[in-house]
Structure 1
Amino acid sequence: MLKWLKRVVFTILIVFFLAVGVFFAIKNPQLIHLDLVFWQGPELSVALYMLLSFAIGACVALLVSSVTYLRSERQVRVLNRRLEKVQHEVESLRKASLAQELSVGKE
Structure 2
Amino acid sequence: MLKWLKRVVLIILIVFFLAVGVFFAIRNPQLIRLDLVFWQGPELSVALYSILSFSFGACVALLVSSVSYLRSERQVRLLSKRLDKANKELDQLRKASITQELSSGKE
Task: Give the TM-score band, short-chain normalised.
Answer: over 0.9
Aligned to 1:71: 71
Structural RMSD (CA)? 0.4
Aligned to 2:99: 99
Aligned to 1:41: 41
CA distance in 1, matches of 2:75, 2:95: 30
Could you list the runs of 4 or more consecutive aligned residues of structure 1 that deviate by over 3 angstroms after TM superposition?
A: none
In the alignment, structure 1 segments of 5+ residues that lack a partner are: none
In the alignment, structure 2 segments of 5+ residues that lack a partner are: none
Aligned to 2:14: 14
CA distance in 1, matches of 2:96, 2:43: 78
> Shift of residue 105 of structure 1?
1.2
Q: Normalized against structure 2, the TM-score is what?
A: 0.99
CA distance in 2, matches of 1:16, 1:81: 46
Q: Normalized against structure 1, the TM-score is what?
A: 0.99
Aligned to 1:82: 82
CA distance in 1, matches of 2:93, 2:38: 67
Report % sequence identity: 79
